[in-house]
Chains A and B, each alone.
Chain A
Amino acid sequence: MTNAETDELEIDLFVETLRRRHGYDFSHYARASLKRRVLALASACGCTGVADLIPRVVREAALLPTVLSHLSVPVTEMFRDPVVFRAIRERIVPILDSYPRPNIWQAGCATGEEVYSLAILLQEEGLLHKTQIYATDINDAALAFAEEGVFSAKSIHEYADNYVKAGGKAALSDYFHMKYELGRIDEALRSRMVFAHHNLVSDGVFCEVQMVICRNVLIYFDRKLQDRVLSLFLASLTRGGILCVGTRENMSLAEAGHHFLALDNELRLFKKMGEYDGRVLSSGK
């Protein structure tokens, strides 16, 4: 066996152990990135290799949050790809505004930067007061951070440029209560949000939504799981509902992807087409 092959074997065994011990199934995650994350986890746990991690996953229940934090690395920023947020502001907000009580689901919210960006945008467009935002993730540590809504002054300062490019109407710092080197997000923004644990691999529809934002999450999933999650979005979205994914995401190979019409292909803004039978596909084994 080559080194790469023994690595593969160890990662397979780790994934199977995690699934059977804790019910989290990473077998449909894209392999190359998963490998890096599992190796980083092993290293962070002081293990010399992935094989050494396996008995610890079996015996140390308290290790689970650490495992999930490493396997779903939260990397996000406010108003990432400002042109996308500008398009949401100019072209999607009027659609959302046509609903009396729009619901928005951000799937894979990580530490919350993006969902707060969205809330700021909706506030400026006068929609936030009637909107309910659901922000979900499998990483409870990241969710707790997101719910706290406290960011470093340095990062808020760095996001200011994106905010302006995204068509921001005030100053980004207006939405934070700054104290020392930290900024806490305005309570009014948070009041329209619910943060919740939800696993795209195994959990189902939890409400009807008018828009799903899920950017750069499905890139970590294999095609089967991508298809499963897109079907979950279809089943959750209202007729004509909006889906926003990352600007380099390829849905063209997914069966469920064919139910979406591109409103803007470059920015990856889609609209659900027609009726959907509500079937959520299984990613299976």
Chain B
Amino acid sequence: MVACFQAASDGSSQSSRLRAIVMGCSAGGIDALRIILAGLPTDFVLPIVIVSHIAASVKSLLPEILTVVCKIPVLEAMERCPVEPGHVYVAPPSYHLLIEPDRTFALSVDNKVCNVRPAIDLLFYSAADLYGDGLIGVVLTGANNDGSSGLIAIKRAGGLTVAQDPETAVARTMPEAAIATGCVDVVLPLTAIAGFLVSAGSFPRNKDIA
């Protein structure tokens, strides 16, 4: 497995317990992602895995759109390939994206969840199982309630949960639904999310928060 993960799991580094970030967005999501990803430094090490509800097509343009603004590589998640540090991954259109116990990506064409595929919830459930308290889950702008039960799963597994401040969202339904679960640790305006993720490695996170 990748060296970075070993360093993270032996508890010695500053970001000893954080291992990955998962994010979900829908309506208004591409602009929100551009703002967040543009705020990450070149040496940002935590892998970021994103589900964005986008129209079905064989070829996805999202990685190209995001690569332009992001200093770290943005790729479409490929099944069976490992989640590597220092990368941003987006789900392919029309497939659910999950992470396997061996930290590789898996795809599914199972029924839609919350009326969408890819569903944020499915990524969040599988990532919560794998990363436990080493995970940050972020729900951004969107016009449905996908991601809410995923955030509950992340919270139950000891992870850190973040919602975009609905006041700063193009569509406020999704972050509002997430906040309404009572499982969101931090509510942040869009422009503060990148900075928060950068400093999250040293965040004094514990089960006693929230």
- Give A contacts to B, CB under 8 Å: 2-4, 7-8, 30-33, 35-37, 73, 75, 81, 83-84, 216, 219-220, 223, 226, 246-250, 253, 266-267
Asked if A32 and B79 make an inter-chain contact with CB atoms under 8 angstroms apart, the answer reads no
Q: How far is the CB of B22 from chain A (nearest CB, A)?
A: 13
Cβ of B107 < 8 Å from any Cβ of A?
Answer: yes
A-chain residues with CB within 8 Å of residue B95 when the two chains form the complex: 219, 248
B-chain residues with CB within 8 Å of residue A32 when the two chains form the complex: 98-101, 106, 122, 125-126, 129
The 6 lowest CB-CB distance pairs between A and B, nearest first, are A32-B98, A4-B129, A32-B126, A30-B106, A33-B108, A216-B109
Can you list 24 contacts pairing A with B, beta carbon distance less than 8 Å?
A2-B157, A3-B157, A4-B132, A30-B98, A30-B106, A31-B100, A32-B98, A32-B100, A32-B106, A33-B96, A33-B98, A33-B108, A35-B129, A36-B110, A36-B125, A73-B111, A83-B58, A216-B109, A219-B107, A219-B109, A248-B79, A250-B78, A250-B80, A267-B58
Asked if B132 and A2 make an inter-chain contact with CB atoms under 8 angstroms apart, the answer reads yes
- Give B contacts to A, CB under 8 Å: 58-59, 78-81, 92, 95-96, 98-101, 106-111, 122, 125-126, 128-130, 132, 156-157
Asked if B109 and A30 make an inter-chain contact with CB atoms under 8 angstroms apart, the answer reads no
A-chain residues with CB within 8 Å of residue B59 when the two chains form the complex: 266
Asked if B79 and A219 make an inter-chain contact with CB atoms under 8 angstroms apart, the answer reads yes
Beyond A32-B126, A250-B78, A250-B79, is A220–B132 a contact (Cβ under 8 Å)?
no
Q: How far is the CB of A33 from chain B (nearest CB, A)?
A: 5
B-chain residues with CB within 8 Å of residue A250 when the two chains form the complex: 78-81
Asked if B122 and A36 make an inter-chain contact with CB atoms under 8 angstroms apart, the answer reads yes
Asked if A220 and B100 make an inter-chain contact with CB atoms under 8 angstroms apart, the answer reads no
Starting from the known contacts A2-B157, A3-B156, A246-B109, 20 additional A-B residue pairs (CB-CB under 8 Å) come to A2-B132, A3-B157, A4-B128, A4-B157, A7-B129, A30-B98, A30-B100, A30-B108, A32-B98, A32-B99, A32-B101, A32-B129, A33-B96, A33-B106, A84-B58, A219-B106, A219-B109, A223-B80, A250-B81, A266-B58
B-chain residues with CB within 8 Å of residue A247 when the two chains form the complex: 58
Asked if A220 and B108 make an inter-chain contact with CB atoms under 8 angstroms apart, the answer reads yes
A-chain residues with CB within 8 Å of residue B109 when the two chains form the complex: 75, 216, 219, 246
Beyond A3-B157, A32-B98, is A248–B92 a contact (Cβ under 8 Å)?
yes
* A238→B109 CA distance, assembly (Å): 29
A-chain residues with CB within 8 Å of residue B80 when the two chains form the complex: 223, 226, 250, 253
Asked if A249 and B79 make an inter-chain contact with CB atoms under 8 angstroms apart, the answer reads yes
B-chain residues with CB within 8 Å of residue A220 when the two chains form the complex: 108
B-chain residues with CB within 8 Å of residue A246 when the two chains form the complex: 109
B-chain residues with CB within 8 Å of residue A31 when the two chains form the complex: 100-101, 106
* A243→B126 CA distance, assembly (Å): 31
A-chain residues with CB within 8 Å of residue B79 when the two chains form the complex: 219, 248-250
Among B110, B128, B130, the residue within 8 A (CB) of A75 is B110
